[in-house]
Amino acid sequence: MTIQGTITEIKQTKANLIRTDKLSKYYGSANNEGVLTVRELKKYFGTVKAVDGLSFTIFSGEIYGLLGPNGAGKTTTIKSILGMLALQGGNITVLGFDPVITPEKVKENIGYVAEEPVLYESMTVKELFNFIASIRRLDPERATTVAKEYLVSLNALEYYDTFIGGLSRGNKQKIQVIAALLHEPKVLILDEPLSGLDARSARILKEIFQIHREKGGSIILSTHIMEQAQTLCDRIGIINEGKMVAEGTFEELQELAKTTVATSLEDIFLHLTGQTESAKGFLEKLRQLPNN
């Protein structure tokens, strides 16, 4: 089946999915230790405690959202999961593998989309995908077919022979996501994957993420877009100053924040990260600044 066909099928069945049923499978089994576990993670840059004792678990078939203000420690957490940073404490497992001890096993099972597109600017899109197929030892014909399917669904096939350096930011982002998906990783790690994308492409990518989850894959997704977290994520972890301040389904977070009249994830987020009052105060000061 084509990606477009699968997307249509998922759209048709999505309405019938009951979130609580899906969630019960994560918690139902005592043996379910999680696809990705982060335990007491600590990462300091000098005196800055970027991540300070963070723990969470992501289960199979789950989309987990990492939310937090700028500088909260989301990217540092993600880079730690990828084994890119030397840690001050804690441990991480991805499908049972430690990213520091067996980075190759972790990389085999992960697809990563960085905050800023990191791609070989002097390659064409086609050359990049062929290169990935070669280093990941994928069947070249299948990889080309799959890559082209993704390009078509994201309205980007016309860039197949274009140098990556000449692409717009949004189109680079699409290429980065496709590159992360080509080897069908079990875990997708996405650092603000939809930033800079037009509405249609963002919609298609969200559907592609759903397909990944429907096939049993897991996703950890850092985002600032509340609507995205609310509609896409099964559970959300809100972090602030390197610590988890709240974690749960949207409904559970709503419950946690019910001391206020929180109606949206944005309200809940601002409340739980203690930003509601400070935002109000600063805005009032801005209003009162005298005109020139």
Ligand X SMILES: Nc1ncnc2c1ncn2[C@@H]1O[C@H](COP(=O)(O)OP(=O)(O)OP(=O)(O)O)[C@@H](O)[C@H]1O
Binding site for ligand X (CB under 6 A): 45, 48, 50, 68, 70-76, 115
Nearer to Mg ion, 108 or 115 (CB): 115
How far is 117 from 62, CA to CA, in rounded Å? 25
Q: Which does 279 bind (CB under 5 to 8 A by kind): ligand X, Mg ion, none?
A: none
Work out the burial of residue 49: count CB atoms within 10 Å of its CB; fewer than 13 is exposed, 13-18 middle, 19 or more buried: middle
Tell me the residue number closest to Mg ion, measured at CB.
Answer: 75
Single out the segment in contact with Mg ion by CB under 5 A; choices: 54-62, 71-79, 123-131, 138-146.
Answer: 71-79
Shortest separation between residue 75's beta carbon and Mg ion, angstroms: 3
Tell which residue, 150, 144, 196, 149, has the closest CA to residue 169. Answer: 196
The b/e string for 174-202 (b: 16+ C-beta within 10 A; e otherwise) is: bbbbbbbbbbebbbbbbbbbbbbbeeebb
How far is 117 from 171, CA to CA, in rounded Å? 10
Shortest separation between residue 253's beta carbon and ligand X, angstroms: 18
Single out the segment in contact with Mg ion by CB under 5 A; choices: 99-107, 114-122, 145-153, 269-277.
Answer: 114-122
Single out the segment in contact with Mg ion by CB under 5 A; choices: 52-60, 70-78, 140-148, 166-174.
Answer: 70-78
Work out the burial of residue 137: count CB atoms within 10 Å of its CB; fewer than 13 is exposed, 13-18 middle, 19 or more buried: exposed
Q: What is the CA radius of gyration of the chain?
A: 20
Single out the segment in contact with Mg ion by CB under 5 A; choices: 90-98, 109-117, 129-137, 168-176.
Answer: 109-117
Single out the segment in contact with Mg ion by CB under 5 A; choices: 99-107, 110-118, 199-207, 272-280.
Answer: 110-118
Q: Would you count residue 75 as binding Mg ion (CB under 5 A)?
A: yes
Q: Which does 73 bind (CB under 5 to 8 A by kind): Mg ion, ligand X, none?
A: ligand X
Q: Which does 65 bind (CB under 5 to 8 A by kind): Mg ion, ligand X, none?
A: none
Nearer to ligand X, 72 or 164 (CB): 72
Shortest separation between residue 70's beta carbon and ligand X, angstroms: 3
- The structure tokens 């001391």 sit at 259
How far is 98 from 83, CA to CA, in rounded Å? 8
Nearer to ligand X, 127 or 241 (CB): 241
Nearer to Mg ion, 67 or 167 (CB): 67
Work out the burial of residue 5: count CB atoms within 10 Å of its CB; fewer than 13 is exposed, 13-18 middle, 19 or more buried: exposed
Q: What is the contact surface with Mg ion in residues (CB under 5 A)?
A: 74-75, 115
